[in-house]
Amino acid sequence: MAEYINVTTLNLLAKQVLEQCEPLNNLIVCGEVSNFTRHYKSGHCYFTLKDENAAIKCVMFRDKARLLGFAPENGMLVLAYGRATLYERDGAFQLYCDYMRPFGAGAAQMAFDALKKKLSAEGLFDADHKRPLPPMPQCIGLVTSKTGAALQDVIHIITRRWPMVKLLLAPVSVQGLEAEKSIVDGIRRLDADPRPDIILITRGGGSKEDLWVFNSERIARAAYACKKPVVSAVGHETDTTIADYAADLRAPTPSAAAELAVFEIQDLLGRLEEYHAKLNRELQQQIAQKRQGLKLYENKLSYLNPKSQIEEKKQHYESIQIRLESAMKTRILTSRQELRLYIERMKGLSPLDKLNQGFSYVENEAHKAVTSISQVKSGETLLIQVSDGTIEARSIGTKQVERGVFDDTGFETKRNTDDRRSF
């Protein structure tokens, strides 16, 4: 019995054969749209392309469909870019569409779109590769015809806006059979020359056929490989070439390219004036702030200055001294008054004062004070001290008398009948 395969394997083999066929992997198919449907959930587009003799089912997935620049409609003639393959589940031969546009521009436009798609897929148009222009170039390289009006426009505008810049011309043919090679060689010569800071590729307006040379793949790759920033300005504002996409910057016209390449010197001078005024204002503000801060530090240092602190302490001590002297004077006066009182009181207790008042001081022969009649014997000699001298007397007897008792102040406090004194 012969070997067999199942349907799944068959469809898989067919799909692999189709995917390995290079012509089927990079197709541009022209046909009329029919049965167009956009799935409401997934966003995928399903439709059929047909001509008068055949039809093929097509699928455009959501990520590709979002990039459509128009709304496909049934009956519309389009160009579909994609690859042919087999849907394994249904065994359906279909076209996976990556890009689609309305058809009508002719074979030249198809070639343009195909080349654009190819170079874009290779990354020649990526924004990450675009280099910024130097703000103040010293030399600009020009790739253009030496007899064209574009050259004169560029020279006039650049020398007016930025007169100190140098221009380096690489004269090329911009149309004819030799134009492609001439432009590529001009780009490469200027890129190898160390003088230019920017390379400007330009020509004036013309028909699409006149500008078609700038859709060359070789020119696009030469511009992409350039180590210096490239500005492309070909034709009029509405004209766009492959060179424009490959350049770092696209200008709508040669005159616009000249304006983009250099500063306007008057604008620069105006900016410098503004910067000068702004800098002066900021400088004055900073000076004022620094002066204010310096004044604060000066006041702080003045407060912390040892001399100031000494003067402050000296003033404090002088105040204390004044208060101390005042307190001492007050204390002295008070003490003097108290002393006078004590003196007056002591006068009353002084023996001399008592003697001056008529009192006397009596001693016996042993020079002991006689304070009681019991200390005196009959016939004993007594010494009586008075204010102006001493009297010698002899005791002939004693007599006891009753007298009041006086305290230190001289006032009688009580009576004691037992108190006896001799006289």
Q: For residue 167, how far is the Cα from the chain centroid? A: 42
Helix (H) or strand (E) holding 258: helix 254-261
Q: pLDDT tens digits, residue range 25-56?
A: 888 898 888 999 998 888 899 999 998 889 99
Nearest to 224 by CA among 131, 115, 93: 131
d(CA 100, CA 78): 7
What's the pLDDT band for 199 if we cut at 50, 70, 90? very high
Note the residue count of the chain: 423
pLDDT for residue 135 is more than 60: yes
Residue pair 194/164 in contact (Cβ under 8 Å)? The answer is: no
Q: pLDDT tens digits, residue range 169-196?
A: 999 999 876 888 999 999 999 999 999 9
pLDDT for residue 97 is more than 90: yes
pLDDT at 2: 58
Nearest to 96 by CA among 171, 148, 153, 45: 45
Terminal Cα distance for the chain, rounded: 185
User: Can you give 122-148 as a three-state secondary structure string?
Assistant: CCCCCHHHCCCCCCCCCEEEEEECCCC
Nearest to 124 by CA among 242, 300, 277: 242
The whole-chain average pLDDT of the chain stands at 84
CATH class of 7-104: mainly beta
Residue with tokens 């620069």: 268
What does the block give as tokens for 27?
């197709």
Mean pLDDT confidence for 395-420? 56
Calculate what percentage of the chain has a pLDDT beyond 90: 38
pLDDT at 404: 55
Domain boundaries, the chain: 7-104, 137-263, 353-416
Of 33 and 109, the one with more pLDDT = 33
pLDDT for residue 89 is more than 50: yes
CA atoms within 13 A on the CB side of 184: 14
Q: pLDDT tens digits, residue range 232-263?
A: 999 887 888 999 999 999 999 999 999 999 88
Of 396 and 133, the one with more pLDDT = 133
CATH topology for the 137-263 domain: Rossmann fold (3.40.50)
What does the block give as tokens for 251?
């200008």
Phi and psi at residue 332, to the nearest 5° = -65, -45
Q: For residue 91, how far is the Cα from the chain centroid? A: 63
